[in-house]
Structure 1
Amino acid sequence: MEFSSLFKLPIIQGPMAGGATTPELVAAVSNAGALGSFAGSLLAPAALRTAVERIRGLTTQPFLLNFFVQRTPTPSPDEIRQGAELLRPVWESLGWTELPQPKQWCEDFDAQFDTLLELRPAAASFTFGILDAVQVERLHAAGILTIGTVTTVEEALAWQSIGADAVIASGIEAGGHRGTFIGRQEDATLTAHELWPAVAQAVSIPVIAAGNIMNGADIRQALALGASAVQMGTAFLVTDESGIHPAYKQRLIEAEGQPTRQTRSFSGRYARGIENRFMRQMASVEAQVPPYPVQNALTGSIRAAAAKNNDTELMSLWAGTGVARARPMPAKQLIELLASELQS
């Protein structure tokens, strides 16, 4: 399968982990002529199979599965204690006497990868790291197009060198987690309009533009800067089919005047979201928190309590810089609107 055959419209719905990309959202996007993406990174193999079965029950069109490239960490008891201590002001504000210990740090990537090969979606995208050439060959042998997420030209060249079919060039404006895997995350500061043409010039494979793309005019601009397609996340978070918490969705809809910024305090990896009390409370120590996925697991109980209490001040409100321009509506209607704007 060729990259261009994945969609009729050059629009990919971003694969946002944590329940945002429901099978209904993925299928609605693909059925409307764009490419739906399902975030598999936080799911065990059995849950992945169930979700893909549901997607295939709703669409016969191509869709994409996304994963975090990572190894399961083995933090020391001291590291875990220190991480919990840094979070003390937050969990004490919930009336807790201690921070609950996570049951696991992350899902097993090798098991996810084997499941991906078994499920054979049209494409798979990866972030937080890079595969090796053998893994890419295995994906190709299973008929799966391989797409890497990059924040620098060097990362794009690395993915091209191992046989990737395309790269997602994610500018600093993009919501959610940064995909940086070469060098320090803090150093990957290129804006979308700097990164897209630089990557397009450097590689011979298709470039997918990401970062502050909210309407048809933004898509046209990305294509003019050398992209073959765009990936839009925040725009789809407010669609009817998005699976995010209702209070989180409402914060996005009312985001006018609310700043977004990057933080590593929720997960141990830099990610952009709407600023809230958790970010402010952790700002002085966020450089010290354990790396992803340990911090992500440590804050899991806090975020779960916040969801139960409808408390958006302790939720991770991932969103890009263009969040105030997000338009709530059914996903099919959003794709149709984007298509009409793209042609106007």
Structure 2
Amino acid sequence: MAMQVALKTNSLATTPTPVRTTPGAASPVARAEPLDKTRRTAPVFPEAALLSRRPLRYNVQLNQQLTAVQKAEDYLSEAENQLLVLRHQAMRGNGDEQAATVNSLLQQRSRLSGGTVDRNFNVTLQQKSKVNFTLPGMEKVLEQTPGETLVFALGGSKRELAAVAIPAEATPRQALVHLNVGLGRLGIHAALGGDGSAVFQVDEARWARVSQHLSVRGEGQQFPADAFTLLAPQAEASREDEISQIGGRWERGAGGKLQQTLEQITRERGKLHQHQERVSSRIQDMATAYSPREALETSRALSSALAKSGNQYGLLSKALAAQGNISLSTVKNLLG
């Protein structure tokens, strides 16, 4: 007669279910206490209080934000101080030396601010500083033409090429879309201004190359086909340009421009202070809120959980070993 065994397979723990055997068979081996009860009484590990809400506390991104904010604040603070000195000395007629100091500070803006302040003294923490410019001669491309294929070349340290096919009778907006497809490969983006003219934009880090080494070749309609034509991008006037033109002598209108720049710096520094407060609040939120007593209680609970884990592991190991010793014939009978 084949031996029949009743097993419960919904848990790793064995249960005290009676085992039917033939007369004269060996008595069943005593089983260990159920593991389910042990698991129910054991504390969940790790406890919620032991888990940090934000494990990466002072991570790389936060450090970069702190560094960017500090660089922007340092540069704007220095620029504000130097501009105040320039106004004071220029009004007295002896501002030549201070004007040279201010111009030197403006020329080193990208390096000193780490790229966090643009040409208009706007803080750019989350994005790169941009330069808006126009391209004299490109307005013809936006007019409805028979169509032309243009090849743009950007020289400098390395030569980059981009081809643009302007379809025949394209509207200005359609032509602009095609321009963006090609010029986008050179890091240049175009948009229509309020007066319908094209305004181009590029990262300030690439402006030096674009302003000196951007050329185009056409098919003999808008641009010659036998050679590249060097373009002359014109950057939009910025507050930085206005300040650099003030010089040491106080001329009419200089006071208004300088005052507007100082007000712009004040606004941007106010934004930085708000950002610093948010970062400080974030750091405090990530800090551990345990008192010394709570820390001691938590460490004791952790020690107790670790001490009990060895016993639980032993019981589980015995249960697995018991199930692993079931004979092959028993398994076949169970599977049918």
Sort the TM-score into its range (normalised by shorter chain).
Answer: under 0.3
Structure number having the greater helix percentage: 2
TM-score by length of 2: 0.20
TM-score by length of 1: 0.20
Is the radius of gyration larger for structure 1 or structure 2? 2
